[in-house]
Amino acid sequence: MTETSPQQISVKKILPLILATAIFMQMLDSTILNTSLPSIAKDLHESPLNMQNAIISYVLTLAVFMPASGFLADRFGTKKVFIFSLVLFSLGSLFCSMSQNLTHLVISRVIQGVGGSLMTPVGKLALIKTFDKNELLKAMNFAIIPALIGPVLGPLVGGYMVDYLSWHWIFLINIPIGVLGIILGLKYMPNYKSTDVDFDLKGFLIFAAASLLLSISLELFGDMQNISPVLFVFILGFLFLYYYYKHARRGGNPIFPLDLFQVRTFRVGIVGNLATRLGISSVPLLLPLMIQIAYKQSAVTSGWIIAPMALTAIFGKSSVIKILDKYGYRQTLMVNTFIIGTLICLLAIPDIHTNLYWFVPIIAILGFFNSIQFTSMNTISIADLRNFQTSSGNSLISVNQQLAIGFGIAFGLIVLKLFENSNLIEGEIHNAFRYTFLTVGILTIISGFVFRRLHISDGKNMKSKEG
């Protein structure tokens, strides 16, 4: 056995830092915009409630292009694809800061999203191939710390930049971080390739078309003047999903094999993820919007009120194994979803004269239970997958999460617009937000019944895998 060279030791020390840089940028970018939307909307002469395209376009681009990341890394090498993704993400950030209208911003966010969809999966792939299994958990834990810090800093950094500099800086901040990642990547990122490259391009294009059409139908629903184009795009999206189903049935090497859905725990995990995130994903956007639009408070104030959600999520992550060991997946997920739905409903209680900091304890508790929810859903989804299914299953879980976040944001804003245009709110925009939280919370409670399909013993084999 050959000795480990100084170069290999350096790579093992720096590689987790390179991946951490990518994850930090992606997590910061996913959350920093939430508190900044009203300011950007004002500058671009748009209503804040029409700005969801800037968030959804990014999230859905991640979902569409993530399945291609493994193939591109195998074909062109992890180093080349990773550097390319950082360059693309940094350029997208620069274009975002230069946007003159919402259309420019959305196109720039799509460029960012293509970069983001490649940099984290390819960075993780390089890490997995570099470290032995007994070293991998420690390396991955170090790299994932920014995933917990990013959501804490995002709303705060975004709030301060908007209030004391300008909204352009929430995108420009990515450029020095991206340059650091590129410099480290050029020197330390290994360039793994695979000779056995087999990519289901047809399946990828069909699935991407289905995802985009279903997402566009949600967008149209939010601004629709008549129902016909919405139904047409929605039905077309489902036809593409059916076309993918027919394509995958023919065999070969489909990008998402249908035998994944024969695994009951995977099926429940995927459906549960999609259903419960519809409500959960809308809260981090709706609450800062309400604080700034209805309460007329600053972006910094909304950032501080949202920040506890990410802080308590860290404590939830450390408690989840004990909770699952004691109560099992079925009971934990059902009860946890009911608790989250109830907490979202509680956000509807304060009226416009209530002290704003009434929201802080609710948001803090919500962050704790969200963390338990996400870890439990993700681990039960892969609990019974066989080794040959893990790669495609894990990829589909990532795509499903991004789609669910995009759908959740769109759904929350659609409900908000419907109430805003109704007679129920009596001219008070704050009441539109209250009714929206109530609606989203009730639907989240109902989504908990998805987990009734789990058996009491499901997930027992995961006890040694979690953490």
pLDDT digits (tens, 9 = 90+) for 48-95: 766 777 777 887 788 788 878 777 887 788 888 889 999 999 999 999
pLDDT over threshold 70, residue 209: yes
**Mean pLDDT for the chain?**
79
What is the mean predicted confidence (pLDDT) over 319-334? 84
Identify the band that residue 387 occupies on the pLDDT scale cut at 50, 70 and 90.
Answer: low
What pLDDT, on the 0 to 100 scale, is given for residue 336?
93
CA distance 213 to 352: 38
pLDDT over threshold 60, residue 223: no
CA distances, 280 to each of 222, 309, 366 (Å): 19, 12, 9
What pLDDT, on the 0 to 100 scale, is given for residue 427?
67
Identify the band that residue 195 occupies on the pLDDT scale cut at 50, 70 and 90.
Answer: low
Least-confidence region, from 130-139, 189-198, 293-302, 318-327? 130-139
| Of 316, 309, 321, the residue nearest 280 (C-alpha) | 309
pLDDT, one tens digit per residue, over 86-133 is: 999 999 999 988 888 888 888 898 899 899 888 877 887 777 777 765
pLDDT over threshold 60, residue 224: no
Strand positions, DSSP E, 150-209: none
Contacting residues for 138 by C-beta, under 8 A, at least 6 apart: none
Identify the band that residue 148 occupies on the pLDDT scale cut at 50, 70 and 90.
Answer: low
Output the six-digit token pair for 418.
């419907």
Output the six-digit token pair for 260.
């994944």
Highest mean pLDDT among 55-69, 219-233, 275-289, 375-389: 275-289
CA distance 28 to 171: 10
Contacting residues for 389 by C-beta, under 8 A, at least 6 apart: 257, 259, 260, 263
pLDDT, one tens digit per residue, over 433-442 is: 888 999 999 9
Tokens 């002290």 correspond to: 355
Neighbours of 331 (CB within 10 A): 15
Tokens 């080794």 correspond to: 387
CA distance 144 to 127: 12
* CATH of 259-467 among 3.30.465.10, 3.40.630.10, 1.10.3720.10, 1.20.1250.20: 1.20.1250.20
Contacting residues for 54 by C-beta, under 8 A, at least 6 apart: 33, 37, 40, 102, 105, 106, 109
CA distance 251 to 261: 15
Neighbours of 142 (CB within 10 A): 15
CB 443 within 8 A of CB 328: no
pLDDT over threshold 90, residue 337: yes
What pLDDT, on the 0 to 100 scale, is given for residue 467?
38
What pLDDT, on the 0 to 100 scale, is given for residue 61?
83
Contacting residues for 201 by C-beta, under 8 A, at least 6 apart: none
| Of 88, 86, 108, the residue nearest 33 (C-alpha) | 108
What pLDDT, on the 0 to 100 scale, is given for residue 149?
65
CA distance 290 to 297: 9
CB 169 within 8 A of CB 177: no
What pLDDT, on the 0 to 100 scale, is given for residue 282?
84
pLDDT, one tens digit per residue, over 420-435 is: 877 776 667 888 888 8
Distance from first CA to last CA of the chain, Å, rounded? Answer: 32
Q: Residue 166: helix, strand or coil by DSSP?
A: coil
What is the mean predicted confidence (pLDDT) over 272-277? 88
What pLDDT, on the 0 to 100 scale, is given for residue 1?
39
What is the mean predicted confidence (pLDDT) over 200-212? 84
CA distance 62 to 67: 9
Q: What kind of fold does domain 1-197 have according to CATH?
A: Growth Hormone; Chain: A; (1.20.1250)
What is the mean predicted confidence (pLDDT) over 238-255? 84
| Of 315, 322, 290, 324, the residue nearest 367 (C-alpha) | 315
**Domain segments of the chain as ranges:** 1-197, 200-254, 259-467
pLDDT over threshold 90, residue 445: yes
Least-confidence region, from 22-26, 322-326, 366-370, 451-455? 22-26
